C-alpha cells in the first residue's frame, strides 16, 4: 500500500468537507444524506467514512473551521493595545471573519444558519453549537473586561451581559446579511457607533 | 349544509396552524409534509386544504402572526412620549414580544429560526422573510428618527444604519436565547446600556 502524504490526506478531507457544505447549503442539514455527500464529492463510501464516519463529524469539523477563524480574529484583537472601542472592535472582527469566510470554498455563515436551526432539534448538534457559543462568549467577556479597564464601558457593567449583546450583534449581523442582504460592515459599524454615542441617561433596570 | 360560524372558522384555522407549528418545531420546515400536519391536527385533507392549500400558506400565516405582534408592540412604543432611549426601547419591545410569543400555542421564535434557514433555499420563503424584515426595519427607522429628534443619537447618524443594528440585535437575541439559553431581557438591556454609555470617541469610518 502506497504511503499517503499529509498533503493528500488534507486535500481529501477538504474535498469532502467542501462537498458537504455544498449539500448543506443546497438542501439543509437534515435533508442531506451521507450518500448525497459521497456523490457530490465523487468519492467512494470507504474514502469518505475514513475521514468522517457520519454527518455529525462533518458538523464538528465545520464548527472547528469556524472556531479557528474566530480564535485567530480574537487573538489579533487581543494583541491590539489599547483595546479598540466597541464599534471599532466589532468592525475589526466582522471584517476579519468575512475575509476568512470568503477564503473557504463555501459560505459558512449560510451553513451556520442551517446548523443553528438543526440544533433546535438535535441534542448532539445543540451541544456543538453551545461549545462554540461558550468559547465566543468567553472571548467577548475578555474584550469587555478590557473595555472596562480602558473606560469604554461603565466600571459597574457586567462583562457577561456586554458579551451577550456583542455575541448577538455578530449573530444578528450574519442572519440579517443572509436574509435581507444590503448590509455592509461599514454601515453596521456606523449604526453601532451612533447608538454607542447616544446622549441618553442610563435606563433603570426594571425593563424586564 | 349547516351555517359555519366565524368562531368555528377561526378555531379551526388556529387548530391547523398550531399543529403545523408543532410539526415544524419537531422536524423543521422542509421535513414536514402537509400529510404530517393533517395527522397532527387530526383533520381530513379537505378540512385543512380549505384553509391552507400548502405549506407556504402556513408560513405566510405564521409571518402574519409574528408581524401582528411586532406591529402592536411598535404601535405602543410609538405612542410613548418622549421616546425611550435605545436600550429601554429595545427592552420594551423584547419584553412585549416575548409576552406575545408566550400567548401563542407554540414558541414562534423557534419556528422563525426554521423559516430563516429555509429562506436560504426557497425563494418564496425568502420573499416572505424579506417582507417582514422590511416592515420591521421601517419601524426601527422611525424609532431611530425619534431618537435623533430627542438627541439620543447624533444628528448626522444614518437612521437606516441604526435600524439595521437594532433589527440584528433583536434577531441575535432570539437566536442566542434559543441556542445557548440563559439570557433574559434584563441582562440584555443592561449589556446594551453599558455599551451605549461607553465613553469612547467616535470611530473613523474606514473599518470595512
Q: For every one of its 208 residues, what pLDDT tens digit does chain B have, with 9 covering 90 and above?
A: 556 788 888 889 999 999 999 998 888 888 899 999 999 999 999 888 999 998 889 988 998 899 999 999 999 999 999 999 999 999 999 999 999 988 888 899 999 999 999 899 889 999 999 999 999 999 999 999 999 999 999 888 999 999 999 999 999 999 999 999 989 999 999 999 998 876 544 444 444 4
Residue A150: pLDDT band (50, 70, 90) is very high
**Cβ of residue A184 closer than 8 Å to a chain B Cβ:** yes
Compute the distance between CA of residue A206 and CA of residue B82 in angstroms, rounded to an integer.
Answer: 18
Domains in chain A: how many in total? 1
The answer to whether the peptide bond before residue A82 is cis (omega within 30 degrees of 0) is yes
Compute the distance between CA of residue A147 and CA of residue A144 in angstroms, rounded to an integer.
Answer: 5
Q: How many CB atoms lie within 10 A of CB B158?
A: 17
A152: in domain: yes
Query: What is the residue-wise DSSP string for B1-61?
Result: -PPPPHHHHHHHHHHHHHHHHHHHHHHTTTT--HHHHHHHHT--HHHHHTT-SSHHHHHHH
Residue A4 clears pLDDT 90, i.e. is over it: no
Q: What cell was used for B99? A: 409576552
Compute the distance between CA of residue B197 and CA of residue A202 in angstroms, rounded to an integer.
Answer: 7
Q: What cell was used for B122? A: 426557497
Residue A30: pLDDT band (50, 70, 90) is confident
Compute the distance between CA of residue B168 and CA of residue B92 in angstroms, rounded to an integer.
Answer: 16
Q: What cell was used for A34? A: 451521507
Among B193, B201, B204, B205, the strongest candidate for a mutation testing the A interface, having the largest count of A CBs within 10 A, is B193
For the segment A128-151, the average pLDDT, to the nearest whole number, is 95
A146: in domain: yes
**Cβ of residue B173 closer than 8 Å to a chain A Cβ:** yes
Contact A191 B158 (CB under 8 A): yes
Contact B85 A190 (CB under 8 A): no
Q: How many CB atoms lie within 10 A of CB B64?
A: 12
B103: domain CATH number is 1.10.357.10
- Å from B56 to nearest chain A CA? 17
The tally of CA atoms less than 13 A away on the side-chain side of residue B97 is 24
- Residue length of chain A: 208
B80: in domain: yes
Which pLDDT score, from 0 to 100, does residue A9 have?
84
- Å from B88 to nearest chain A CA? 6
Exposure string over A101-136, b if 16+ CB within 10 A, otherwise e: beebebbbbbbbbbbbbbbbbbeebbebbeebbeeb
Which pLDDT score, from 0 to 100, does residue A207 have?
41
Is the CB of residue A17 less than 8 Å from the CB of residue A62?
A: yes
Which pLDDT score, from 0 to 100, does residue B29 have?
81
Which pLDDT score, from 0 to 100, does residue B200 have?
43
All residues of chain B having their beta carbon less than 8 Å from the beta carbon of residue A186 are 205, 207-208
Compute the distance between CA of residue A173 and CA of residue B146 in angstroms, rounded to an integer.
Answer: 23
Residue A96 clears pLDDT 80, i.e. is over it: yes
Higher pLDDT, A9 or A190: A190
Residue A31: pLDDT band (50, 70, 90) is confident
A102: in domain: yes
CA B208, distance to chain mean position in Å, is: 29
Compute the distance between CA of residue A42 and CA of residue A143 in angstroms, rounded to an integer.
Answer: 44
Is the CB of residue A184 less than 8 Å from the CB of residue B126?
A: no
Contact A113 B91 (CB under 8 A): no
Compute the distance between CA of residue A97 and CA of residue A91 in angstroms, rounded to an integer.
Answer: 10
A63: in domain: yes
Nearest CA in chain B to A26: B121
A40: in domain: no
Which pLDDT score, from 0 to 100, does residue A1 have?
53
φ/ψ of A103, rounded to 5, equals -80, -10
A45: in domain: no
Matching residue, cell 366565524 = B6
All residues of chain A having their beta carbon less than 8 Å from the beta carbon of residue B154 are 194, 197
A22: in domain: no
Q: What's the domain range around B109?
A: 55-196
Which pLDDT score, from 0 to 100, does residue B2 have?
57
Q: Which of residues 71-90 of A touch B (CB under 8 A)?
A: 84-88
Say what the ipTM of the complex is: 0.88
Compute the distance between CA of residue A169 and CA of residue A192 in angstroms, rounded to an integer.
Answer: 9
Among B117, B138, B156, B187, the strongest candidate for a mutation testing the A interface, having the largest count of A CBs within 10 A, is B117
Q: What CA–CA distances, in Å, run from A9 to A14, A60, A114, A149, A194?
A: 9, 18, 27, 46, 49
φ/ψ of B49, rounded to 5, equals -65, -25
Amino acid at each position: 500500500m502506497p504511503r499517503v502524504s499529509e498533503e493528500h490526506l488534507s486535500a481529501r478531507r477538504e474535498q469532502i468537507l467542501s462537498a458537504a457544505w455544498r449539500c448543506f447549503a443546497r438542501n439543509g442539514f437534515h435533508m442531506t444524506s451521507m450518500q448525497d455527500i459521497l456523490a457530490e464529492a465523487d468519492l467512494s463510501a470507504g474514502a469518505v467514512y475514513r475521514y468522517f464516519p457520519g454527518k455529525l463529524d462533518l458538523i464538528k469539523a465545520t464548527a472547528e473551521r469556524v472556531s479557528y477563524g474566530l480564535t485567530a480574529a480574537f487573538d489579533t484583537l487581543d494583541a491590539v493595545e489599547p483595546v479598540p472601542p466597541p464599534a471599532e472592535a466589532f468592525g475589526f472582527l466582522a471584517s476579519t471573519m468575512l475575509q476568512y469566510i470568503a477564503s473557504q470554498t463555501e459560505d459558512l455563515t449560510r451553513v451556520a444558519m442551517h446548523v443553528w436551526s438543526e440544533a433546535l432539534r438535535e441534542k448532539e448538534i445543540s451541544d456543538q453549537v453551545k461549545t462554540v457559543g461558550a468559547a465566543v462568549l468567553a472571548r467577548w467577556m475578555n474584550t469587555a473586561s478590557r473595555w472596562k479597564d480602558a473606560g469604554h464601558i461603565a466600571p459597574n457593567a457586567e462583562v457577561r451581559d456586554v458579551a451577550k449583546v456583542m455575541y448577538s450583534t455578530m449573530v444578528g449581523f450574519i442572519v440579517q446579511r443572509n436574509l435581507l442582504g444590503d448590509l455592509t460592515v461599514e454601515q453596521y459599524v456606523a449604526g453601532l457607533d451612533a447608538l454607542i454615542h447616544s446622549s441618553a441617561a442610563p435606563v433603570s433596570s426594571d425593563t424586564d
